[in-house]
Structure 1
Amino acid sequence: MDAQTAKKIIEKNLQYDDVKRLLVRLVQHASPQTELLEAEPRVLALISDVIKPELERAGLHPSIDQKGNLVLRLNGRGRGDRLMLVGYAMSAAPSSMQNPYSGEIVDGAPYELEGECVWGRGACEQKGSLAAMLAAARFLGMIKVELPSDLYFVVSTAGETGRHDSLAHVLDHDNVEADWCIIDGPPEIQLGNKGRVDILVTVKGKQAHSSRPWEGVNAIEGAMKILEKLRPLMPYPEDKAHPELGKVSLTPNAIESFPKATHTIQSECRIMFDRRLLPGDDPRKAIRQMEETIGKIAPFEIEVQPRDFMYPSEVEKDAEVVQALEAAIRTVSGQQPTYSFSTAANDTGLFNFRGIQAINYGARDIRFQHTDHDLVSLNKVFDAAKVFAFLAIHR
């Protein structure tokens, strides 16, 4: 199918109002991050009770794997350029946002956006792009054209967890065979992002009653000494920089002490550090740097341990998946594509590490992420849906 024929089929069959309906429905179903992470029942229910039935009503046959991820495979005629679209079901917790699951249609003008917007937690982050991918998949179910090669639509139970576990399970256990992957992202072609390793530093002392502090070894004091030793590494532990991503960074983002008892000298303190990585960085080197900088601090016992890790990512503009997405944007919108990079870690690094060309694109608007004004432009979501549909039937 030539590009102009594909564009005409999309213009005739992919409707703004259907995209709008889907996005409102997704936002109205709460699927927040909780301490249960990917096992949160409301996240799993969004996939099983909302997304899966929407696909089935379009004549499609998705499956849900053992971890709750949705996988839809549509067979194509060729073996090359097999494409995977990846969206996320989990959104941030509502926090102080008013009416976080209303799905209200609001005017975008006060937020410097054109046209209608949908209000609700996750709208600007996961659910705008998810609605665009879902609309494109439903479009494919209804028009029933032969696809140039296999297409996968995956809805991950992640979205806010900061780890690859959900999609690693899909790649390892769900029999997906893709050459290219486009993961939920901004309206620009996002070519790369920083990676991250979480590093847990545990300091141990000796418990005692706080009326007799000289009988104990206060782990909080040990934690203060560790933070002081690491001060020269924060926020920039290295001088090297990427032309688009800038420098790596190190920052503490959580601290907790034990035991949870009143009037007690604390015997243990844990500090979690966020260490960002550039493409090509070895996380083991970052951990060694921290260990060597902290050294030994008597009389405390100190342990430095890696926790969750996400690969950094970078794809060149001449990569096949980038060129295909560029052509789709030009054809569908008549505009030249733009490009971006992100300091945030995401799953593209995992796919590229596994040999699948992966980039980010969609309807995300980072200005409103995790704020009290979480909303997304319906025009941007509709544009992304048309681009995804075009890539599915012409590449």
Structure 2
Amino acid sequence: MPTVLDLSLDAAALTAALVDLPSVSGDEQALADAVEQALRELPLLRVDRYGNNVVARTRLGLAERVVLAGHLDTVPIAENLPSRLEGERLYGCGTTDMKSGVAVQLKIAYEVGRADGASPDRDLTFVFYDCEEIEAARNGLGHLVREHPDWLAADFAVLLEPTDGRIEGGCKGTMRARITTRGVRAHSGRDWLGVNAIHAASAVLTRLAEYKAREVEVEGLVYRECLNAVGVSGGVAGNVIPDECVVTVNYRFAPDLTEEQAAEHIRAVFADFEVEITDSAPAAAPGLSLPSAAEFARVVGGAPEAKQGWTDVARFAGLGVPAVNYGPGDSRLAHTRGEFVEVARIAQAVERMRAWLGLDAGSR
């Protein structure tokens, strides 16, 4: 039978229900179905679906619209389901990344979508999407950007990725490239007749080891760039001198660079090698000086930090929608076997969202 989500549960119990419905990347349909069904029961929301991506919107005619967004998928399960509550920590796959954030979205949607719900001071769009944890081409938010950008139109967006209750502005871009060295194949017993491509790759690795990454300040936040080998492949057989070796590198670049400039930088670093850019996603500037972002930062409190990874705030930035990362999970625990979220952080995120949106306990 289809899973039924009870949005009246407290946020921690709702998180546990979401976690207990597995949704590894590419297998999110059951969770998307449950989210869609729960939202369609709220009469004051318009609900649309594209693939396993669900978008719900208020239509109050207010002057400003903000997005609360989160992905439904998780990394592969690591013997960490079902969820379990130990003291004030909820353990399980996706608790921190990012089903606790999705629970916050759903709690706010439940509060404003009921017939007798509370009135926000901004119109709201709730976005739930698939395939965030895998290659960019399959990312559900990317599909919505291309096919239904009107569903995402807004003045500001909050992506409820794990930040441990702090605001993280913008994000670094990410780019992968294949650096190829070539040789001449020969019998390993007569190596003087060949040229070993794997040995030639040592120059690539040395260059990476000696690389000095930039630290770049953008709108008052400092982003630390990274350039690393993330894979090496080569070899034909145990008795053959290999004629090809590929070092895959990952460049995490600051928001002062475009994707084109980042690609130029990789090619410059490896100017004497064969370089192929294989995957890329843009960076995003913080945008914290904008009124909506500044008000959100005031409500959340604390000093905003730079997002040192990549998140889908970049996709919103590409649409001209400023966005920040804010969620109850701790990114240091994401993708780990012992992944957990602090129950208090989930409740805190709900209350901060309510305060920012001007929600009250009264009816419409």
Q: Please confirm whether the aligned pair reaches a TM-score higher than 0.5, indicating the same fold.
A: yes
Measure how far apart 1:21 and its partner are.
2.6
Q: Which amino acid is the alignment partner of residue 50 of structure 2?
A: D
Of residues 250, 256, 263, the one that matches 2:227 is 250
1:72 is aligned to 2:56: yes
SS of the aligned residue for 1:76 comes to coil
Q: Give the CA RMSD over aligned residues.
A: 2.9
- Matched residue of 2:23: which SS? coil
Q: Go from structure 1 to structure 2 and tell me whether the alpha carbon gap of 1:219 and 1:151 turns closer, same or farther (over 3 Å shift).
A: same
Q: Between 117-126 and 139-148, report the one with greater CA deviation.
A: 139-148
SS at match of 1:63: strand
Q: Which moved more, 1:365-374 or 1:122-131?
A: 365-374
Provide the C-alpha distance between the structure 2 equivalents of 1:393 and 1:250, rounded to a whole number of angstroms.
43
Q: Which residue of 2 aligns with 1:381?
A: 346
CA displacement 1:282-324 (0-9 Å, x = unmatched) = 343443344344343xxxxx42122322322233543122233
Amino acid at match of 1:117: R
| Aligned length, in residue pairs | 346
Q: How does 1:200-279 map to 2 (within 5 A)?
A: 200-233=178-211, 236-238=212-214, 244-257=221-234, 259=236, 261-279=237-255
* Long gaps (5+) in structure 1: 1-13, 34-39, 108-115, 297-301, 330-335
Q: Which residue of structure 2 aligns with residue 150 of structure 1?
A: 123
Distance 1:340 1:291, change over 3 A: closer
Question: Shift of the alpha carbon at 1:23?
Answer: 0.6
With over 3 angstroms needed to count, the CA separation of the structure-2 counterparts of 1:247 and 1:366, relative to structure 1, is closer
TM-score normalised by L of structure 2: 0.83
Which of 132, 136, 155 pairs up with 1:159? 132
SS of 1:77 mapped into structure 2: coil
Q: Deviations over 1:217-240 (max 9, x none)?
A: 33212222222244432xx24475
Conserved? CA contact 2:215–2:222, under 8 Å: no
Aligned-pair CA distance for 1:124: 1.5
Contact 1:202/1:268 (8 A) holds in 2: yes
Query: What is the distance in 2 between the residues matched to 1:290 and 1:357?
Result: 28
- The answer to whether the 8 A contact 1:191-1:339 is kept is yes
Residues of 1 paired with 2:256 and 2:332: CA distance?
A: 28
Aligned to 1:111: none
Q: Within 5 A, what are the aligned runs for 1:1-395?
A: 17-33=9-25, 40-41=26-27, 43-48=28-33, 50-59=34-43, 62-66=47-51, 68-78=52-62, 80-95=63-78, 99-107=79-87, 116-142=88-114, 143-144=116-117, 148-161=121-134, 163=136, 165-174=139-148, 175-176=150-151, 177-185=153-161, 186=163, 187-233=165-211, 236-238=212-214, 244-257=221-234, 259=236, 261-296=237-272, 302-326=273-297, 328-329=299-300, 336-392=301-357
1:232-280 per-position Cα deviation (integer Å, ceiling 9, x unaligned): 32xx244756664343221111122255x55443333222211121121
Aligned in 2, Cα 1:393/1:293: closer, same or farther, shift over 3 Å? closer
Offset at 1:145?
5.0
Query: For residues 239 and 70 of structure 1, what CA distance do their matches in structure 2 show?
Result: 38
Secondary structure (helix, strand or coil) at the match of 2:201 reads helix
SS in 1 for 2:75: coil
Q: Deviations over 1:82-128 (max 9, x none)?
A: 11111111222334xxx411211111xxxxxxxx2211012112111
Q: Check conservation: 1:75, 1:149, Cα contact below 8 A.
A: no
What SS class does the counterpart of residue 62 from structure 1 fall into?
strand
